[in-house]
Amino acid sequence: MDERKIIHIDMDAFYASVEQRDNPQYRGKPVVVGRPEGRGVIAAASYEARRYGIRSAMPSLRARQLCPELIFIPGRMEIYKEVSARIHRIFHEFTDLVEPIAYDEAFLDVTRNKAGIALGVDVARAIKRRIREEVSLVASAGVSYNKFLAKVASDYRKPDGLCTIHPDRAEAFIARLPIEAFWGVGRVTGRRMHELGIHTGADLRACSQDFLTERFGKAGLHYYEFARGIDRRPVEPSRIRKSVGCEETFARDLTTLEEMTEALYGLSARLNRRLDRTGFRGHTLTLKIKYANFRQQTRSRSLKDELGASSDIFPLGETLLRESGAAGHPVRLLGLSLSTPAADNPAEPHEVYRQLELDF
């Protein structure tokens, strides 16, 4: 069997780059997409803004402190969707094995591509050129024999990067990686890794499978295999929708149960509209709470019967809210999501959803 040729394409600072493309006065300046109000959160930051330490998901107030001349631009999701669709049409001119991850990134399996190009790096180079010529945006690309390494490669030389990790060089490359570069290792897991003396790929490779699974559960097996350059996941052109949800960050903290209940009612209505639009049904309702100090709490309840658009989501959400003990504490965000679809039961029929149709 041919060695797989997997490409990971990541649009550089996508939302902010679209705004700089469409508004020449913003080019070369620190620009963020987001709301400047006190409770706003940064959705995307240009590379000029990133030089100040500004990143996505950062509170707007903090971003303004880091860069007083920061330019805030309201998001234009319909425009970003249109641009994303154009980029994905370019992908499909090379292969139909395209797995969208978000509007600004995707995996492509180009082992057997429509253009008949032998080398994956040449396919990636052609895609980058087409995006620049037809959409006037810059993408970074990583090429390797699996998804994990292709993703690592695309992050390696940003912006406008192109990096290939060959099978015979993968082990040495992985050994040098900081542990935070591994898929699934966020801030919390990274801190736990450091406490265990794991700082690099070489440190991770020295750990046994039992050691990692005992401490990280199922994820431990993935870490064990990633450290050895193993990732068996295929590029999946379509995915089964696993959840539908919505959340809201409030202009001021909610402190009373009455305020939180009123906000929850509005979230329940929004969730029902999304369930109606998607036709999704699930067994588990999850309430997400983020407090003023950014501590996060979730509470879930799974039912035997499915919930859907025709279900009364609000009473169950209200029960979860009361059980959370949030009343009396300043709450900055509430979220509701429905998960555990019937599709997770092999005996039940399921509907397949294209990843691009998910709400972001």
Q: What is the tens place of the pLDDT at every residue in 208-242?
A: 999 999 998 888 999 999 999 999 999 999 766 78
More confident residue, 75 or 9: 9
Q: Looking at 48, 93, 105, 306, which residue is catalytic?
A: 105
Structure tokens belonging to residue 149: 């390494």
Average pLDDT score over the chain: 89
H or E stretch including 251?
A: strand 243-254
Asked if residues 37 and 25 have their Cβ atoms less than 8 Å apart, the reply is: no
Asked if residues 51 and 63 have their Cβ atoms less than 8 Å apart, the reply is: no
CA atoms of 319 and 185, how far apart (whole Å): 33
pLDDT band at 298 (very low <50, low <70, confident <90, very high): very high
Q: Does domain 243-357 have CATH number 3.60.21.10?
A: no
105 included as an active-site residue: yes
% of the chain exceeding 70 in pLDDT? 93
Structure tokens belonging to residue 360: 């972001």
User: Of 54-63, 162-171, 184-193, which has the strongest mean pLDDT?
Assistant: 162-171
The residues near 358 (Cβ < 8 Å, ≥ 6 apart) are: 241
What does the pLDDT read at residue 342? 63
| Helix/strand/coil for 154 | helix
CA atoms of 106 and 74, how far apart (whole Å): 25
pTM of the model: 0.74
Q: Which of 109, 340, 98 is nearest to 241 (CA)?
A: 340
Peptide bond just before 341 cis, omega within 30 deg: no
Please tell me the class of the 1-165 domain: alpha beta
Q: Report which DSSP code applies to 147.
A: H
At position 161, the amino acid (one-letter code) is G
pLDDT band at 2 (very low <50, low <70, confident <90, very high): low
Asked if residues 181 and 149 have their Cβ atoms less than 8 Å apart, the reply is: no
User: How many other C-beta atoms can be found within 10 angstroms of the C-beta atom of residue 158?
Assistant: 17
Asked if residues 274 and 244 have their Cβ atoms less than 8 Å apart, the reply is: yes
Asked if residues 99 and 110 have their Cβ atoms less than 8 Å apart, the reply is: no
Q: What is the tens place of the pLDDT at every residue in 105-164?
A: 999 999 999 999 999 999 999 999 999 999 999 999 999 999 999 999 999 888 999 999
Please tell me the class of the 169-226 domain: mainly alpha
- For the chain, domain boundaries: 1-165, 169-226, 243-357
In angstroms, the Cα distances linking 13 to 45, 67, 318 are 6, 18, 38
CA atoms of 14 and 33, how far apart (whole Å): 10
Q: How many CA atoms lie within 13 A of 271 on its CB side?
A: 31
Q: Which of 122, 127, 121, 159 is nearest to 142 (CA)?
A: 121
| Helix/strand/coil for 252 | strand
Please tell me if the domain spanning 1-165 has the same topology as the one spanning 243-357: no
